[in-house]
């Protein structure tokens, strides 16, 4: 008999992340994350499955983390990044290239590392499975500091790898730092969340012979800029034997959000800059003929409210560089990058009215168009890739974790992801058999300014929205703010609906997926607009009879934590709230996080505009807080430093407001450790239950 979700169900759940379609479109490689209870860790696994759904996925890796699956041109070999123990062949043979060069601060699959400050474990390297011959993966790179990204050459005999390359003097300083020596920094960009304290080591592109492992550094293809620690150089090797990469080669790259698109020959000659103006480029993808690149372009210095667009660039100095989606008024989502399905056709995922879906862009100049409409408004895309013959997307709904589906890229808009869809995976089939997952409804309502706001409401089992019995409700505010909530499954929302809560997720002003005007309304302000959109939405739930007015709760993570704090300074109608991993004093925060470029662009410099920084900070009005607060932080969070949580906690406790501070040791901005993730959900549930007027739990806070 089905049962409700609980926090420890994280150990039965599989989370689908990356997907890569083979050149012939017949197979899809993907990364799925499980959660190992015995070792208390997230465990990524690399899988391959036929796109016709004829066979269950085959797992390739179990013993170590794996990410960034990338197919060789022949389709018989699959490269990936993994921090595994050194290949035995390298340990005994003469082919080792270990010479103290190169480092990666990330492990290639989205998981944070320590940034070279103390981790003595294996560094991420490029490994290759020969799927035609079988056997274990073979290690191709042996960079002492690891590899951050790579791609195959068109002949399949070489790869290009992005790796840091310290000088002897820099290597000695890194070794001293890892041995608890002092951290010495002279660059402006001094830290990055999930990476750690930065340094002056430069990353380069390296061309590596797959058979011999012979390595050549491309001296003119080097990394720089404030974006580089997060995004890397993203090398892409084109069919016409040119290599694309991203970097900022300006005069003050650390004081700029620009990130430009370059190409270079495999011997390191003829470097060209393709992007023009002040832009931030990501996700380069070569056209089939190798003459052009598609990429995502954002608007620095850091106007993240403006929609990101698909651009096409000719591989020539001062060549064509223009948007393929200028009139779409929808942002390219974080679910993936553009990919070509023909000589003139590019597909890309966009945020479109609280879901991620695909649009088709035309390199020949026709307007971009929405496609695959039969995906429906009840499902959102979490990953996607494709070729000329096959598109594979991960789709999720509120009651179904993500699975892979394949479709013909030329299928009609009303048939794709409908009857013409092939399902490739059923990763959570057993998980779904004995658990009850939430339903959802889209809720449109007016805020205090008379504008229409949309939210996604996730509903408890047996809840009837047409004949409701008022339930406790929690407003769950997304981060960003340049993001959006969509009708897809997440474990936290499922746990709270299982506990009887209506989980209300408002896409407040500042959210993307509704166009530039809606998103950019928030630019230059904090607090007032989002608070109105949240409280107006909660009032709508009460008016509908969905929410009990005496049992209202509030939480949010990152920017959601920022908004939660603003709400409780303005509204005392919530029984309890939980601002998580937020910023509450923007003036004091400046320079202590990794976002000073963004804040300076939007609000000016704090010593020049101190009043603005005070106005946007909830700590300025903390004296009006009466709501019991659970305040959480990551001990090593460089996005929203833990000192911000401490400041808010002490400020409300000094006034006698019930409050609890939880700091997750060894965690960055997110909480990835399974035991800590479980603790987080259990603590949120306990805090709301403790302060729920309908329960008999006695408060145990204020002594």
Question: Among the three residues 222, 244, 279, which one is the final residue of a domain in this structure?
Answer: 222
Residue numbers of the chain with a pLDDT score lower than 50: 92-118, 698-703
* Within-domain flag for 37: no
Question: Among the three residues 222, 257, 280, which one is the final residue of a domain in this structure?
Answer: 222
* Within-domain flag for 322: no
* Within-domain flag for 529: yes
* pLDDT tens for each residue of 322-345: 999 999 999 999 767 999 999 999
Q: Which distant-in-sequence residues (6+ apart) come within 8 Å of 410 by Cβ? A: 341
Structure tokens at 289: 């003929």
* Within-domain flag for 522: yes
Mean pLDDT taken over the chain: 91
Under DSSP, the state recorded for 73 is: T
Strand pairing report for 309-314 and 321-323: antiparallel
* Within-domain flag for 242: no
pLDDT at 63: 66
Q: What is the CATH number of the domain that holds 136?
A: 2.40.128
* Within-domain flag for 572: yes
Q: What is the CATH number of the domain that holds 508?
A: 3.40.50.1820
Q: 3-class DSSP state for residue 531?
A: helix
* Within-domain flag for 332: no
Question: Among the three residues 222, 257, 273, which one is the final residue of a domain in this structure?
Answer: 222
DSSP codes of every residue in 388-444: SS-EEEEEEETTEEEEEEEE-TTS-TTTTTTTT-EE---TTHHHHHTEE--EEEEEE
Structural domains counted in the chain: 2
Is residue 237 within 8 A of residue 151, CB to CB? The reply is: yes
The whole domain housing 647 covers 436-690
Q: How far apart are CA 482 and CA 508, in angstroms?
A: 10
Is residue 140 within 8 A of residue 128, CB to CB? The reply is: yes
pLDDT at 304: 85
* Within-domain flag for 178: yes
Between the alpha carbon of residue 477 and those of residues 239, 550, 584, the distances in Å are 44, 20, 16
């Amino acid at each position: 008999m089905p049962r409700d979700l609980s926090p420890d169900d994280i150990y039965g759940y599989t989370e689908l992340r990356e997907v890569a379609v083979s050149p012939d479109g017949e197979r899809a490689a993907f990364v799925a994350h499980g959660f190992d209870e015995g070792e208390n860790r997230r465990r990524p696994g690399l899988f391959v499955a036929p796109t016709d759904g004829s066979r269950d996925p085959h797992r390739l890796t179990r013993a170590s983390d794996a990410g960034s699956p990338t197919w060789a041109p022949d389709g018989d070999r699959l490269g990936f990044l993994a921090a595994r123990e050194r290949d035995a062949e390298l340990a005994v043979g003469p082919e080792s290239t270990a010479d103290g060069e190169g480092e990666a601060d990330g492990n290639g699959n989205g998981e944070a590392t320590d940034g070279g400050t103390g981790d003595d474990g294996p560094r991420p390297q490029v490994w290759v499975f020969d799927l035609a011959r079988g056997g274990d993966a073979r290690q191709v790179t042996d960079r002492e500091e690891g590899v951050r990204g790579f791609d195959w050459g068109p002949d399949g005999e070489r790869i290009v790898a992005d790796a840091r390359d310290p000088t002897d003097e820099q290597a000695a300083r890194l070794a001293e730092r890892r041995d608890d020596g002092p951290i010495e920094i002279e660059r402006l960009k001094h830290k990055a969340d999930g990476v750690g304290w930065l340094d002056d080591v430069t990353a380069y592109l390296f061309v590596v012979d797959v058979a011999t492992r012979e390595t050549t550094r491309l001296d003119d293809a080097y990394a720089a800029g404030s974006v580089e620690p997060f995004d890397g150089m993203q090398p892409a090797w084109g069919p016409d034997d040119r290599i694309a990469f991203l970097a900022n080669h300006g005069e003050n790259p650390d004081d700029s959000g620009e990130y430009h698109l370059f190409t270079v020959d495999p011997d390191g000659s003829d470097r060209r800059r393709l992007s023009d103006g002040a832009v931030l480029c990501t996700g380069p993808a070569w056209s089939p003929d190798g003459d052009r690149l598609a990429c995502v372009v954002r608007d620095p210095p850091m106007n993240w409210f403006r929609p990101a667009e698909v651009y096409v660039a000719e591989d020539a100095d001062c060549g064509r560089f223009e948007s393929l989606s200028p009139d779409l008024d929808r942002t390219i989502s974080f679910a993936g990058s553009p990919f070509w399905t023909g000589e003139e056709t590019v597909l890309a995922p966009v945020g479109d009215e609280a879901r991620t879906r695909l649009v088709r862009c035309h390199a020949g100049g026709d307007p971009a168009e929405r496609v695959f409409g039969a995906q429906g408004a009840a499902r959102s895309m979490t990953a996607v890739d494709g070729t000329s013959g096959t598109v594979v997307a991960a789709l999720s709904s509120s009651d179904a974790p993500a699975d892979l589906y394949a479709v013909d890229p030329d299928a009609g808009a009303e048939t794709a992801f409908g009857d013409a869809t092939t399902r490739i995976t059923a990763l959570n089939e057993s998980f779904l058999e004995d658990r009850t997952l939430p339903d959802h409804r889209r809720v449109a309502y007016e805020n205090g300014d008379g504008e229409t706001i949309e939210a996604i409401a996730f509903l408890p089992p047996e809840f009837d929205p047409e004949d409701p019995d008022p339930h406790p409700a929690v407003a769950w505010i997304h981060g960003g703010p340049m993001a959006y909530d969509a009708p897809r499954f997440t474990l936290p929302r499922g746990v709270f609906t299982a506990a009887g809560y209506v989980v209300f997720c408002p896409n407040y002003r500042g959210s993307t997926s509704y166009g530039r005007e809606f998103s950019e309304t928030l630019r230059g302000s904090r607090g007032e607009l989002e608070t109105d959109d949240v409280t107006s939405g909660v009032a709508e739930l009460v008016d509908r009879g969905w929410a009990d007015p005496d049992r209202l709760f509030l939480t949010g993570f990152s920017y959601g934590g920022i908004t939660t704090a603003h709400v409780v300074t303005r509204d005392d109608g919530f029984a309890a709230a939980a601002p998580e991993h937020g910023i509450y004093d923007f003036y004091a925060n400046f320079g202590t996080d990794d976002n000073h470029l963004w804040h300076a662009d939007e609000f000016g410099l704090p010593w020049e505009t101190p009043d603005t920084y005070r106005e946007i900070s909830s700590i300025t009005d903390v004296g009006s807080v009466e709501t019991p607060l659970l305040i959480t932080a990551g001990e090593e969070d460089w996005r929203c430093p833990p000192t911000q949580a401490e400041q808010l906690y002490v400020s409300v406790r000094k006034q006698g407001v019930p409050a609890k501070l939880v700091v997750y040791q060894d965690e960055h901005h997110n909480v990835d450790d399974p035991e800590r993730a479980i603790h987080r959900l259990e603590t949120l549930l306990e805090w709301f239950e403790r302060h729920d007027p309908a329960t008999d739990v006695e408060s145990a806070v204020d002594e």
